[in-house]
Homo-oligomer: A and B are copies of this chain.
Amino acid sequence: MITSRDVARLAGVSQPTVSRALRDDPKVSEATKQRVREAALALGYAPNAIGRALSVGRSTRVGLVVTDLENQFYAHVIAPMHHELERLGYELVLITESSESAPVAEHVTAHGLCGVVLATTTVESIVPVRLRDRGVPFVYFNRTSQSVQADSVTVDPENGVRELLRDAIGKGHRRIGAIFGPRNTSTGEQRENTVRAVLDEHGLALAHRDVRHGPFDFRTGDEGLRELLDRADPPTLVLCGNDVVALGALNAAAELGVGVPDDVSIAGFDDLPTSRWALIRLSTVAYDLDEMSREAARLIVARVEQPDAPQAQPVYPTRYVARATIAAPRA
């Protein structure tokens, strides 16, 4: 059996350097990594995650629960989370659930995961309770649930929404509509409450007929905008629950021949790379999704390795990014 000691000897480095090099630790130089890899290959050595897991009594596999893998929001979560977990010597396992019921907790047990990042929790979800009951560590990502307290990474929408509405109201918008996310998610609820509170400070309110709710997806924006515009007196600005919803709304406007921002202004939330495209230029609320995804990876690993450490609940600030989809309404 070839061990890391053999690799270290052949590569002329210390044994811990072998582990670090094979984990692609940035502290190890590229030249050393290359030498270690060549030595490992020459000897047929491979660091064995299963063996390592068994030696400490647990797996190194972290589940990420998402709703829809084709939703582009998740691509920008999965990529940095995957890289950060890999850097820490852990693996990312994707779990999708159309309806978030019992199967998530079953999946975790069935596949021997050491921890879970929950990116789809609804406020009434039983998943956190099941995970707690089974002793599976988890971190809430961009969501929380009242049922169980746990580590979380979330976003504070207030500053971004406040800046956005100051700009839009300053430009003259008074009839404002919204296509919010699901009411049964903390993210949907919090963004909606923030919008309503800030509008209230400006002496404005959303008319009931100018509000729609739906999943955070393209179709919600597409259908929502069509409904809001299908009236004699539509809102002049439509706030969307997130960028993917806003992209659906922008495309609906393009299909209807409705100019953005000439005929209607549209705002998003998330600042996804697509929103920065010259063809899109979505005015939106931004925060550091990449760093937030990496932080979730670090938190779940920390929780797995130190079950009794105090809980961490970092909250990421937001800011408004003015681009091309909000302008003064028609006189």
Residues of A within 8 A of B (CB): 22, 37-38, 40-41, 46-50, 68-70, 72, 74-76, 78-79, 82-83, 86, 91-94, 96, 101-103, 106, 109-112, 247, 250-252, 254-255, 273-274, 277-280
CB neighbours (8 Å) of A46 from chain B are 106, 109-110
Nearest B-chain residue to A40, judged by Cβ: B106
Which of these, B40, B101, B247, contacts A37 with CB under 8 Å? B101
Instruction: Give me 9 other A-B pairs in contact (C-beta within 8 A), A37-B102, A48-B109, A72-B72 excluded.
Output: A37-B106, A47-B106, A70-B76, A70-B79, A72-B75, A74-B75, A82-B96, A250-B279, A254-B278
Shortest CB–CB separation between residue A203 and chain B, in angstroms? 35
CB neighbours (8 Å) of A112 from chain B are 48-50
Shortest CB–CB separation between residue A45 and chain B, in angstroms? 8
Contact A91 B91 (CB under 8 A): no
Tell me the complex Cα distance, A22–B111, Å: 13
Tell me the complex Cα distance, A277–B277, Å: 14
CB neighbours (8 Å) of A279 from chain B are 250-251, 254, 279-280
Nearest B-chain residue to A33, judged by Cβ: B103
Tell me the complex Cα distance, A244–B155, Å: 30
CB neighbours (8 Å) of A255 from chain B are 278
Shortest CB–CB separation between residue A275 and chain B, in angstroms? 12
Given contacts A75-B75, A106-B41, contact A111 B49 (CB under 8 A): yes
Shortest CB–CB separation between residue A125 and chain B, in angstroms? 14
CB neighbours (8 Å) of A101 from chain B are 37
Contact B79 A75 (CB under 8 A): no
